Structure 1
Amino acid sequence: MARPTLTLAALATAAIPGLEVAGARAHTRRSTGAFDAAELRATDGRRLLIRVPRSQTAETEQSADLVAIAAMTAGIRSRLPFAVPSTSGQAPIDGTRAVVTDFLDGHVVSGDDLTAYDRLAESVGGAIAAIHSLPTGFIGDAGLHRETADESRDAVVELIGRASDTGHLPAALLRRWEEATDDAALWRFRPAVVNGSLSADSFLVDEERVLGVVGWSALSVGDPARDLHWLLTSRGASAERALEAYTLGRSGGADALLPQRALLYGELELARWLLHGVDRHDEAIIADAVGMLDGLVESVHERTTEALSPETGPILTVDGVERMLDETPRSAPTSAREPRSALLTDSYDFSDLERDEVGERYAYQPEATAPIPLDLSDWGDAAPDAVPDAASDAAPDPAATAPLDRATLDQLTAEAQARRNAASS
């Protein structure tokens, strides 16, 4: 059951000492999000976002995201033409933690809409290029993952091997994917800073430009093609302008075969979906994945696709990959090593904020606060919920609700790594 908006608002007052909340409303685009979330308006004018994970997977993602955005110093952020969330505080609840960040302006649109018009498409391409052009040193300083070109290929080889071991991977795809990993030219690239889980849902935009990027749990140094497969499958009229802007923004840093490698990553999403079904012993997911893999084989046999490289057979066209990925359920898996926040997002679409119904109250109550006045004048039709008086027999531990410090970040890093090790064992 989703936590009521009022509970989340009260949690925020525990997470940020001295915070006075004037109004709160649910923050969600769909009912399948992995987080309970609410937008808050403070009496001092600040807009905040509080999120509580609903699952262990979401909690792991949240922990990794906190470490990543903490690593992005003011100097790093100044190199980006968009906003990145900053963490304001945290508070314990039901064995997990609520995390409060600043609320970023903008709304989420589909990949096709991101590339429908020149100006926005160019902003998207430039935003990705800016990420990939960041200096790599801060990744190592923060203890985040770094992957060489050879290690990126090895990870793909491992993924293909696991998919093959299920007995459900068509021989034609196994052969073609193995040919791709054997093609040394395809894997001659310079690793770059990557978001690692970038998708259309990562971007907060207005009509003309990218305002913010969210979901940094897979921030690392690795193959920049990982951030691009979703863009290559968009069907907006200005998709090519986005790629041109990306290439220009990289100033020669993009390798010639990056698009082909990005399309390969797109196909491998089907292998991930198959493995997710096998890991969960879910025959429906397995059957769904097998059906999509068979469809990919048919496209290859019909020779209606483009070649991946001289050493490989044809690969699915942009339209074909788009069709396949559109059919992949949004609850697709999270890799133990590569969290995919885009598939877990509670959503950041401001236009879809909905009023939360007051339901079951949770046992947790924050420290006592005074009644909070409520001004509805600037919230439009979706009126927020007032935050009532709240009292507690025992206030939360101040250490547990303080802003994140280095020790807390080190703890979060260790927790995330331990869970990933457990998941991969």
Structure 2
Amino acid sequence: MSAPAGAPGVADPTGLAAYASRSLGLRLDPATARADDSGWDFRVTHIRAADGAWWILRQPRRPEAAERLAFEGAVLAAVRDRMPVPVPHWRLHTADLVAYPRLPGEPAGTEDPDTLVYDWSTDPLAHPGHYLEPLARALVAVHTTPPDITLLPGRARPDRDAEAVRSRIADRLARARAELPLPAGGLRRWQAWLDDDRLWPERLTLVHGDVHPGHTLVVRPPSGPPSLSGLLDWANADVGDPAVDFVDMLYAGGTDVLDRLLEAYRAAGGEVRDGMRAHVLARADFLWVHVALRGIDTGRAAWVETALRRMAA
């Protein structure tokens, strides 16, 4: 799919660099442009300015991704001064392009675009005080940010209460039953989860919505362990169930990572209610339904096939 009208696509780094340079009032070098096409919703270009600083250029893949940018920008503005680690500071925001100085560090892990398996570049359990504990403090900062930004434009479907979140998941399960060969055991588990009032939160919070190793940055000092240096990609930020911010870390690192993260989250002042761990596990089990539907919606057959294999297993 071509980029939205306005900003040139990543296949035209010279045009993209010129477009962004004019908008930002600085000179970006097209010869340094490096495209990252792994994101679900955005294409990303890393590019260096004349002063040596690196910049990130993000372009939405689809109109619905562009429409969410206003809310994402509002969330970043609301949490920036509350966070224990840096988050993107947008210096350009149009309907077809976001630009900001690149945060220091490299992703703590990368995801294979077809198998959706994570390859960690750092052991999340080796030095929890440098990675999982600051990540937990960051999640507490997000979840305790007043969610009144829902009144701003750019958020198409505000959920008024936790029951609305559960209803939306029930709707996705109904759609999946109609469009996919779901396993009988999975259907029983997911329906039991939806029916169990004890597992669902009583209130909603602001959430990042996509916390996984690829969106957490780490810096590697000459001596000492890697440390969390930033939290990226707030495109899925929402007012919703705080459990969503633990699901991908469970998927990527297993229950040991989940338990250590929940322990650090509680120690940092986060609410770990009765049943929350079981709720996160159930959400992770349902993750493959979500991936399969996203594969259908974005035309990625490999995602559908991978999701169906994981459900069957």
Q: Same fold (TM over 0.5)?
A: yes
Asked whether the equivalents of residues 21 and 42 of structure 1 are also in contact (C-alpha less than 8 Å), the reply is yes
The 1:24/1:114 distance shift into structure 2, 3 A limit, reads farther
Specify the SS of the correspondent of 2:71.
helix
The 1:66/1:3 distance shift into structure 2, 3 A limit, reads farther
Q: Tell me by how many angstroms 1:153 deviates.
A: 0.9
The correspondence for 2:209, drawn from 177, 184, 196, is 196
The residue aligned with 1:52 is 59
Q: Tell me by how many angstroms 1:150 deviates.
A: 0.5
Q: Tell me by how many angstroms 1:261 deviates.
A: 1.4
Q: Tell me by how many angstroms 1:173 deviates.
A: 1.5
Asked whether the equivalents of residues 85 and 231 of structure 2 are also in contact (C-alpha less than 8 Å), the reply is yes
Asked whether the equivalents of residues 9 and 40 of structure 1 are also in contact (C-alpha less than 8 Å), the reply is no
The residue aligned with 2:284 is 266
Distance 1:281 1:38 in 2: 26
Q: Deviations over 1:178-214 (max 9, x none)?
A: 1111111111432111012222211122244322212
Q: Tell me by how many angstroms 1:131 deviates.
A: 1.3
Distance 2:182 2:255 in 1: 32
Asked whether the equivalents of residues 123 and 242 of structure 1 are also in contact (C-alpha less than 8 Å), the reply is no
Asked whether the equivalents of residues 54 and 101 of structure 2 are also in contact (C-alpha less than 8 Å), the reply is yes
The residue aligned with 1:72 is 76
Q: Which one has the largest radius of gyration?
A: 1
The residue aligned with 1:115 is 124
Q: Deviations over 1:86-137 (max 9, x none)?
A: 222357xxxx733322221121022753613222221222222221121222
The residue aligned with 2:32 is 25
The 1:243/1:274 distance shift into structure 2, 3 A limit, reads same
Q: Tell me by how many angstroms 1:232 deviates.
A: 2.2
- Give, as a single letter, the amino acid of the residue that structure 2 aligns with 1:129: V
Q: Tell me by how many angstroms 1:168 deviates.
A: 0.8
- Give, as a single letter, the amino acid of the residue that structure 1 aligns with 2:265: Y
Asked whether the equivalents of residues 37 and 44 of structure 2 are also in contact (C-alpha less than 8 Å), the reply is no
Q: Tell me by how many angstroms 1:218 deviates.
A: 2.0
The correspondence for 1:83, drawn from 79, 82, 86, is 86
Distance 2:219 2:255 in 1: 16
Distance 1:10 1:123 in 2: 38
Identity among equivalent pairs (%): 24
The 1:107/1:140 distance shift into structure 2, 3 A limit, reads same
Output aligned runs, 1:175-186, within 5 Å.
175-186=188-199
Asked whether the equivalents of residues 80 and 130 of structure 1 are also in contact (C-alpha less than 8 Å), the reply is yes
The residue aligned with 1:105 is 104
- Give, as a single letter, the amino acid of the residue that structure 2 aligns with 1:200: P
Q: Tell me by how many angstroms 1:175 deviates.
A: 1.6
Distance 1:285 1:232 in 2: 19
Specify the SS of the correspondent of 1:221.
strand
Specify the SS of the correspondent of 2:211.
coil
Q: Deviations over 1:360-404 (max 9, x none)?
A: xxxxxxxxxxxxxxxxxxxxxxxxxxxxxxxxxxxxxxxxxxxxx
Q: Deviations over 1:299-342 (max 9, x none)?
A: xxxxxxxxxxxxxxxxxxxxxxxxxxxxxxxxxxxxxxxxxxxx
Q: Tell me by how many angstroms 1:51 deviates.
A: 3.0
In the alignment, structure 2 segments of 5+ residues that lack a partner are 1-8, 110-117, 221-225
Distance 2:231 2:303 in 1: 30
The 1:7/1:236 distance shift into structure 2, 3 A limit, reads farther
1:3 aligns with 2:7: no
The 1:165/1:129 distance shift into structure 2, 3 A limit, reads same
Q: Deviations over 1:39-70 (max 9, x none)?
A: 22243x654222334x32xx532442353224
The correspondence for 1:250, drawn from 246, 269, 272, is 269
Bigger CA drift: 237-246 or 122-131? 237-246
Output aligned runs, 1:227-246, within 5 Å.
227-233=245-251, 234-235=253-254, 240-246=259-265
Specify the SS of the correspondent of 1:242.
helix
The residue aligned with 1:306 is none
1:132 aligns with 2:143: yes
- Give, as a single letter, the amino acid of the residue that structure 2 aligns with 1:14: R
Asked whether the equivalents of residues 211 and 249 of structure 2 are also in contact (C-alpha less than 8 Å), the reply is no
Q: Tell me by how many angstroms 1:272 deviates.
A: 2.3
The 1:186/1:38 distance shift into structure 2, 3 A limit, reads same
Q: How many residues are treated as equivalent by the alignment? A: 284
The 1:48/1:180 distance shift into structure 2, 3 A limit, reads same
Specify the SS of the correspondent of 1:245.
helix
Runs of 4 or more off by more than 6 Å in structure 1? Answer: 30-33, 280-284
Distance 1:212 1:127 in 2: 10
Asked whether the equivalents of residues 121 and 239 of structure 1 are also in contact (C-alpha less than 8 Å), the reply is no
- Give, as a single letter, the amino acid of the residue that structure 1 aligns with 2:248: W
Specify the SS of the correspondent of 1:137.
helix
The correspondence for 1:38, drawn from 46, 51, 64, is 46
The 1:162/1:36 distance shift into structure 2, 3 A limit, reads same
Distance 1:218 1:238 in 2: 22
Q: Tell me by how many angstroms 1:72 deviates.
A: 3.5
